[in-house]
Structure 1
Amino acid sequence: MGTSVEFSGTVRRWNDDKPGGLAVVDVPADRVPELGGRKQRRVHGTMNGADFTGSTMLVAGGGFCVGVSKAALKAAGASVGDEVRLALEP
């Protein structure tokens, strides 16, 4: 494995109109190139120290985020609105 891309972010809903829907964490713009650019792909690493697998996604307006499952949030001891620490393999 290579060097991890590490950052913190707040877990938010992809669509605020769907309270049970997808949760995401926005990737800081300065970390996007380290993850291979604005391309959708599977990523592996940790969230709050727990093993994590998710997918990166484009956000309207030029943003970039990673989707987090309910199981990943549970393993990380986190929920929507919480700040989490991600370490992802590019």
Structure 2
Amino acid sequence: MGTTVEFSGTVRRWNPDKPGGLAVVDVPDDCVTQLGGRKQRRVTGTLNGAEFAGSTMLVAGGGFCVGVSKAALKAADAGVGDDVEVVLQREQP
């Protein structure tokens, strides 16, 4: 069993200078501790109700986000700039 968090966020580009690059959703500060802190780790969950797997990662300046693949965005009927509902689960070690 793992820890689950739910939040709303906006899909954005990891690097806005690379329009075809990685898409991410920022994880709210109040969810970071529940996910085990600001550490890169694999997570599973849903994006707008569609199942996906991704990795959490640090953002320069103290932020934290989860990467979202093109396939996950397509399954969630979402794109860069869209607001999404996210559920993330971190498996217990």
TM bucket normalised to smaller = over 0.9
Question: Could you list the runs of 5+ residues in structure 1 that have no partner in the other structure?
Answer: none
Deviation track 1:8-45 (CA, whole Å, cap 9, x = no partner) reads 10000001110000000000001000111000000001
Contact in 1 for aligned 2:56/2:67 (Cα 8 Å) = yes
Q: 2:36 and 2:25 mapped to 1: Cα distance? A: 17
2:48–2:84 CA contact under 8 A, matched in 1: yes
Q: CA RMSD in A?
A: 0.9
- Which 5+ residue runs of structure 2 have no aligned equivalent? none
Q: What TM-score comes out, normalization by structure 2 length?
A: 0.93
Name the SS for the 2:34 alignment partner: helix
Runs of 4+ with >6 A deviation = none
Calculate percent identity across the aligned residue pairs.
80
